[in-house]
Structure 1
């Protein structure tokens, strides 16, 4: 493989219900930084049906050009059809770096493309950097159960690919004055050649926990001691209108469902306020919440690692401190607490 033939940073622009999904906009921000450091263009790859109008939005969020496959055959996501479009575009324009959101679609598509192109793929990346001279992508992620951070390199194959979790990177502020190039590509996929057909899409009406959208999260860990003890987290969250989160230890102990788990093997969150109660601060958990606006930790172990990563720390027994917080917030709601002489 002649590595010199490959140039540029690409982002797969996943779209759903007529809009680019947020993680793709976040990746345009990360991709912009990589492209600028490398001195190469940033491109987006957009696939779907009647999606061309979305290309301009990608340019506003940092792309220099957008390749568009707009055809009814791409109306619904299917691995086979989308993979053919991605491979067609990669073989034609040869990107050196290609980023995907670590969504169900992004992970499925990235793994299929990497297999067909015989290149490397780093999954669930939490940090990205690039060597400005060689163009070598430095994709970092927790490894060995979240105990260390590993930086993975793909030295001999291109494109270098990585999936990145939602909320890990930050989208740029859209610049409506930015201009770029939109390249329309022809679909090299025929419906009758595809082995899968989408007969019906059934929306899951079940209420789900959206930790990644929460403004305030109260998370509990093994320091709560038991499932009964973990109920303190539910009480506090209900009092302040927060969403309940949990560490991996709490989930594995059966105290709460996996959908509440924050961390590398759970959900990455960026709330305005994050309460970490009875959570030691293992790296596996930290990578999922370290970008929160305000982190408040409560732990009876003064040496707990969480205190090195919080804005405010309270050393003490959660079963003594949290009830006092609940009482204080309840009084505040009812106007019984005065601040600076005012109710």
Structure 2
């Protein structure tokens, strides 16, 4: 219903504006690090590793619904650069704003963490990793004695001494995302001994990097080649992606800097909904989908300053619940800094892919709800 785009939200909904999820945190901004998040366009002057397009890209049909003025205005107010909504593989809406087009490469931010996690699932199915409860130290000896397992990394419950603080100039996050050499963060791990692994959720882009380097150890390949072979090509990517790397070490930044098109973001969503079941084991799939598959749980209200009880976290993926057309629905997918969103709602077999400059002004939940209700009502 179009009035969703115009009416004020309730106080509880407005409170969602302060939620900072998936590589988002508070802190004073720095002009030096501003480019990490505000300028998400692909910068040809950077240093990147390419993920080549698939030789058999997933088909992408023309959208069938008109982008009316209310929708476009709503998207502009929320700094959205691209929006794709589909029912199954049937594309219902495809919209580009602010100079974006189907060939624009845009930083997926933390969404690449979900891709790395899915590659861990592939490694498990192939037997390269024996169990989610295998100690990471078997592949990365510097973690010996830490007690950290692959499960702890996949669920963001490793007890790392690390705070996700991308706006703080001297933070480990900025080092991870911008330094020419961030290897000390992984080679000389620092642990928080105030809690045991597996007892506390703590979102960390450093976890993505540790998983990435664990994968490189078991496959004896660079991460970009692993993701290309295990995720990018199987999902049928239509364009080449570019992944930011550290100049000195040529190491990909696993949880940041993967630039892809909106259509390939949508293709990733469809892959995670369908074909992923052919590439990872059923238990791994269930853990990625959380309560949608009868697994996982939603967060307790006081569990983390970064999340709300509307959200939960599985094996490298986020899940969320919200009212839609008069009923509670749940979805799963991935989110990244600045409003990057990829979500599948099984109840309606709908997939939504969003590339944006900032988090929606009234929160992701209300944004997703408004867009999907608009589409469903246009369908009649």
Please say whether Structure 1 and Structure 2 have the same fold, judged by a TM-score greater than 0.5. Answer: no
What TM-score range do you get, normalising by the shorter chain?
Answer: under 0.3
Higher relative contact order (CA 8 A, sep 6+): 2
Normalised by the length of structure 1, the TM-score is: 0.27
Q: Which has the larger radius of gyration?
A: 1
Normalised by the length of structure 2, the TM-score is: 0.25
Structure with greater proportional strand content: 1
